[in-house]
Amino acid sequence: MNYYRNFSFDLQTRIEFGVEIVESLAEQVIGLDGKQVLLVSDPGLVAVGVVGRVTEILTAANLDVIVFTEVEPEPEARGVMAGAQLCKDEDRDLVVGLGGGSALDTAKTIALMAKNEGHIRDYAGLNVPSEPGLPVIAVPTTAGTGSECAVWSVISEKSVNIKYGIGGRNMTATVALCDPSLLLSLPARLTAGTGVDALAHALESYVNKATQPISEALSEKAMELIARSLRTAVYNGAEIQARSDMLIASTMAACAFAPTRLGLAHAMAMPLGAKAKIPHGDVISILLPEVMRFNMVANLDKFARIAQIFGADTRSLSRREAASAGVEAVAQLVSDIGAPNSLSAYGVAETDLEELAAESMESGNIVVNPRAVTASDLVEIMRRCL
């Protein structure tokens, strides 16, 4: 590929990585002049004691902490608005997000709305003008969304079946505090879905039309780490090496796709997730192999390179055979880790597909997809995933 297009790469989040680095959280808060912290997390992390441990780290340094746990699996706008109001009422000057993508997206959007008027949906889209929000420290406890480094947050309003992304400079965390020890007890099912989501971020960015050399390098490394360690992370979750690989990979993949967007799996995941209430990593797992089968012919070289990254010996293969080996290597991984593979298991029916395809076509991920696509192509891909 010749790089004749201009590109820009702007990594706005400082990444701090290390086993037990969560112990430095109070120093990080103080370093950002924070004193009055809103700690955003979910009830599950309260139950297993992680929120208590993190609260203690902050209060031991005499920081004032309010814990906010109105975080739902696909975060709701009303939780965001309630958290933002709490920030205003209680004079918060910094937000810590602790959890998976839902908690981190909630934390980032609360921080934005603490400094902006109106409703979070007024800021849906890319680079909708806004004032900078409160500083955010993102502490991921899953390896998947990469929300700690992503320029997007995704918010739902389930009562009206809508889901939207808010993207841009003011939607990034100030610091990503990435501690793989926080992932050690993540259940296999969640490790699998979130892991495939991270893979899809790296892969969809890598093969799409908007990719660029810095993103490609990040994607290749992320895919290499995932190919090496996702199975171990799922089946032997106490292995810190595998958890480290997956956390680095998900963070790198998020950095890769920030300037490039993604592809068809993510275009379809948004309306499918909203309508059928399928967790994001699960819907991505269902769609990714079929999306790759559709896209492969439009970028044989990149799919062949994916085969090599996944360890296939492609020397005796044609370009097309090598590309196909890349697709099958990913499909094999998704199958090996027991990720979901059927939309109908979530209640999606043939009669839903046209409407879902029409909604998917609105996504900004459509135009960058390596292969030109119509709504009927999307219907066919989803049909194969039923």
Does 290 engage in binding with Fe ion (CB under 5 A)?
A: no
Q: What is the spatial distance between Cα 365 and Cα 124, in angstroms, rounded to a whole number?
A: 15
Place of tokens 């490394």: 221
Q: How far is the CB of 197 from Fe ion (least distance, A)?
A: 4
Size of the site for Fe ion (CB under 5 A): 1
Of the ranges 125-133, 162-170, 174-182, 192-200, which one interacts with Fe ion (CB under 5 A)?
192-200
Q: Are 175 and 14 in contact (CB under 8 A)?
A: yes
Of the ranges 176-184, 190-198, 222-230, 367-375, which one interacts with Fe ion (CB under 5 A)?
190-198
Q: Are 304 and 322 in contact (CB under 8 A)?
A: yes
Q: How far is the CB of 320 from Fe ion (least distance, A)?
A: 28
Q: How far is the CB of 43 from Fe ion (least distance, A)?
A: 23
> Of the two residues 83 and 279, which places its CB atom closer to Fe ion in the complex?
279
Of the ranges 111-119, 153-161, 196-204, 297-305, which one interacts with Fe ion (CB under 5 A)?
196-204
Three-state secondary-structure class, residue 49:
coil
Q: What is the spatial distance between Cα 14 and Cα 42, in angstroms, rounded to a whole number?
A: 24
Contacts with Fe ion, 145-184, as mask; x by CB under 5 A: ----------------------------------------
> Of the two residues 197 and 282, which places its CB atom closer to Fe ion in the complex?
197
Q: What is the spatial distance between Cα 248 and Cα 33, in angstroms, rounded to a whole number?
A: 27
Of the ranges 62-70, 123-131, 161-169, 191-199, which one interacts with Fe ion (CB under 5 A)?
191-199
> Of the two residues 148 and 197, which places its CB atom closer to Fe ion in the complex?
197
Of the ranges 147-155, 165-173, 195-203, 306-314, which one interacts with Fe ion (CB under 5 A)?
195-203
Buried/exposed code over 240-253 (b: 16+ C-beta within 10 A; e: otherwise): eebbbbbbbbbbbb
Does 197 engage in binding with Fe ion (CB under 5 A)?
A: yes
> Of the two residues 197 and 352, which places its CB atom closer to Fe ion in the complex?
197
270's CB contacts (< 8 A; 6+ apart) are: 154, 163, 165, 359, 360, 363
Three-state secondary-structure class, residue 197:
helix
Does 105 engage in binding with Fe ion (CB under 5 A)?
A: no
Strand partners, 171: none
Closest CA to 197 of 148, 265, 125: 265
Closest CA to 19 of 240, 205, 208, 200: 240
> Of the two residues 16 and 197, which places its CB atom closer to Fe ion in the complex?
197
Dig out the tokens for 9 from the structure: 């790469």
Q: How far is the CB of 351 from Fe ion (least distance, A)?
A: 26
Of the ranges 50-58, 194-202, 243-251, 353-361, which one interacts with Fe ion (CB under 5 A)?
194-202
> Of the two residues 105 and 197, which places its CB atom closer to Fe ion in the complex?
197
Q: What is the spatial distance between Cα 242 and Cα 250, in angstroms, rounded to a whole number?
A: 12
Q: What is the spatial distance between Cα 225 and Cα 219, in angstroms, rounded to a whole number?
A: 10
Q: How far is the CB of 201 from Fe ion (least distance, A)?
A: 6
> Of the two residues 196 and 325, which places its CB atom closer to Fe ion in the complex?
196
Taking CB atoms, the residue at the shortest distance from Fe ion is 197
**E-state strands within 74-124:** 94-99
> Of the two residues 180 and 195, which places its CB atom closer to Fe ion in the complex?
195
> Of the two residues 92 and 201, which places its CB atom closer to Fe ion in the complex?
201
- Sheet of 152-157, strand order: 125-126, 162-167, 152-157
Q: How far is the CB of 265 from Fe ion (least distance, A)?
A: 8
> Of the two residues 26 and 210, which places its CB atom closer to Fe ion in the complex?
210
Of the ranges 32-40, 118-126, 197-205, 223-231, which one interacts with Fe ion (CB under 5 A)?
197-205
Task: Give how far the C-alpha of residue 225 lies from the chain's centroid of Cα atoms, to the nearest Å.
Answer: 16
Q: What is the spatial distance between Cα 372 and Cα 264, in angstroms, rounded to a whole number?
A: 10
Task: Give how far the C-alpha of residue 288 lies from the chain's centroid of Cα atoms, to the nearest Å.
Answer: 14
Q: How far is the CB of 281 from Fe ion (least distance, A)?
A: 7
Q: What is the spatial distance between Cα 238 and Cα 379, in angstroms, rounded to a whole number?
A: 40
Q: How far is the CB of 94 from Fe ion (least distance, A)?
A: 26
Name the CA radius of gyration of the chain, rounded.
20
Chain residues binding Fe ion by CB under 5 A are 197
